[in-house]
Every structure is written in C-alpha cells, then in structure tokens.
Amino acid sequence: MARTAERVAVTGWGAITPLAGDADGTWTATLAGRSGIRALQEAWASDLPARIAGCVDADVAGALEPLQRRRLDRCSQLGLLAARQAWNQARPHLAGVDAARVAVVIGTGIGGLATLERQHCNLLEAGPGRVNPLTVPMLIPNAAAGQIAIDLGLHGGAHTPVSACASGAEALLLAQMLLNDDRADVVIAGGSEAPVNRLGLVGFAAMRALSCRNDTPDQASRPYSRDRDGFVLSEGAGALVLQRPDDLQADNPRPLGWLLACGSSSDGHHIVAPEPDGLRASAAMADALRRADLGVEALSFVQAHATGTPVGDLAEARALARTLGAHSRDLPVTAPKGQLGHLLGAAGAVETILALQALRRGLVPRSLNADPVDPAIELAVVRDAPLALAGGEAAGERYALKNAFGFGGHNISLLLAA
C-alpha cells in the first residue's frame, strides 16, 4: 500500500516558452488564447515534411555570459534561464539556506540534440579536427542540471530524469522524494528541451508523429480534436523551487502553490504507442490521488497530457474515464499543447506552472483548436473560453490533476493545490 506523501511548497517558478520569456507572460498569453506555433522560414527547414514549430523568441543569448553562449547547448541555456527566474523569485524563502542542501533535478527527453547534429555534420564535412572538443559535455542529457548547479553554486546533488515527454514531471516526483526523505532542504526541479532542428523534426516526422498543417501553423496543434493529425514540436524550459512547508518563514510571501503527491506507472506495452485502454496511465492517476488522500470529487480540473496524436489522445481519454468514473463527463479538462506545442521533456514542468496559475487565479484556460472534439473522447474539454472555477475546497484550496506521459510507457500524474 502506497503511503501518503508529504506536500511540498512551490516558492518560485520560471519558464521560457514559445509564448513568452517568463512564467507570467506565458500564463497571460495562454489565458488570451494565443498560439506559440509559427511557420519555419529558415532555409534548413525548406525541404522538411513538417515546417512548423514552437520556437522561443526571447533573447536567450543576451541573458547569458559569452562563455555560456559558446559552451552550452541551447537545451542547457533554456534550462539555466528558467532556473534563474525560479531561484530569484524564491529568494525571500532562501535566506540562510546551505548550498550543500540544495539539489537540482532537471529532466530532458533528448538533451543537446542541436550539438549532436552540428558536430556530426562537422565530422562528415570537415573531418575529426573540426569537431568541438566540448561536444560531449554539451550534448549529454545531464548538462542542464550540471550547468544550473555551477551557475548558482549549489552542492546538494544534480539529477536528470530522462523519461521522454514525462521527464519534467518526473523531475518533480524526484524532488518531492528528496525533500520527504530529508536528502535536501530545497530543490530546483523542472525540464528543458531544444529539439527544433532538422534532426528533431525529421526524426519525429518519420514516425508520422507530427502535424503537417504547414499552411495553418496556429491551428496545427489540436489536442482532443476530431481533426488532430499529430503534435507540433516545440522548445522551452520550466523550473520550480520546492521546499518543505515547515522550513518556510511565516513572515515571507505565501507559497505559489503545492505539490501534494506524484503517481507513476509504466505501460510495459510498446516503446512508442500507449497502452490503448489506458489501464496503466489510470493507475498513475489513482496512485497520485491515493498518496494525496483525495477523491476525484475534490478535483477542480484535469490538465491533460494530450499531444494531439490520434492514438495518444484517445488512450489518455480512456484512462481519464476509468479514473474519474461518473465525474468524467463534467470535470473540466484542459490541454495546453494546443498553444504551446509539445515541449517534450520540458512539457511537464512548464504545464505544471500553468496548472498552478489556474488554481491560484480560479481560471482554467481553454484548449485551443479542440473543436470539434472527437466524439470518442467523452470528456468535458474546456473549449470556447477560459472557465471560471467555483470557490476553493475546504481549507481554502483547489486541486488539479496533471498528467505527463512519455515514449517507453512512462506515466506520471501530479496532484497540485493552490
């Protein structure tokens, strides 16, 4: 029997996404119904089957030191900027914190893909002497976690979950474990990804996983829609600072929200396709609810993984129906990838920030491009406008369930409160 988890506080967050260069801007754009997807006009994309993506427009290079611009892959750069934002926001809660008790947990699905592509081209076109000597430390998946620890001078351990598109959410699971087990007093957790390049786009397109609506990029990412034809690849990063509630000072700002519990499971079914009936994904959701000691009737909404693939969305809908039972027809469900695209290993972290914002503000963003909803998906998908939530549950809190699933059958469900 799973034991009840001990909640942890979110005291800072940061995000850099296709919608904005910070978390608040991303929330504002999400609530306004903006799309972060654009056509790729770069010459390198001209012959690709999918020529649309969610790209970060913020000035990444301008926020970095010259050495960081040259020696960090874009995946690490994005993760570092999101972590700095989160750390700076959490500063009122960090006075006197021992750097040896601060851990970093940053997940990624792929890591330094742009470095891998660029240096492989150098090898083929110009020979071994033209390969950057920093190729390996730039492309390894744990580079972002290591660079964040270096930048902020943290010594409590640096960890990197690599579980495809569940990586950012799994980072939060690991962070809660570190805090509950007293292995750290503070954890910076999240995810980062920078896959928008030829290799990334061709690789996913070859699997027929991507939408090819090149003429209408803002309508291409269509979670739960009857007309969905694949996801849109995006880049970005999200990071959250987590602490135990007993370590917070009463005279500091109240936490931004709470991570109550995390559930997990593995499909054990297929390396790419989800288990079609959603049995194991449902088990992850039930695990989170059980560890939080909450019933589905306490939930204000669900934030779905929903990438816009025909198979994946249907499997998640079945898992939700199995988990929610009679509540599946009326509990609001939102799918942020209609606006963000799919940030892969960063998705779970960025979307968790949006879910906490929704709980704090009592507004659930609509699922862009979900109309018409697939008739086989019998969920209360929020579509037309943001949905105002009723007053908080007992103790003044609202609760949300957030899903993140990844290739390999990785299933993570988070129980959030604010």
Residue 155 annotated as catalytic: no
* Catalytic residue from among 165, 262, 269, 410: 165
> DSSP code of 132?
-
Secondary structure (DSSP) of 288-313: HHHHHT--GGG-SEEE----S-HHHH
* Nearest residue to 341 (alpha-carbon basis) of 202, 241, 201: 201
Amino acid letter for position 291: R
* Nearest residue to 232 (alpha-carbon basis) of 314, 378, 347: 347
Tell me if 16 sits within 8 A of 239, measured CB to CB. no
Alpha-carbon span 414 to 418, nearest angstrom: 13
* Catalytic residue from among 75, 159, 262, 305: 305
**Exposure b/e, 292-303, CB count within 10 A at least 16 = b:** bebebebbbbbb
**What is the number of other CB atoms lying within 10 angstroms of the CB of residue 124?**
9
**What is the number of other CB atoms lying within 10 angstroms of the CB of residue 226?**
14
Residue 327 annotated as catalytic: no
Residue 165 annotated as catalytic: yes
Catalytic positions: 165, 305, 342
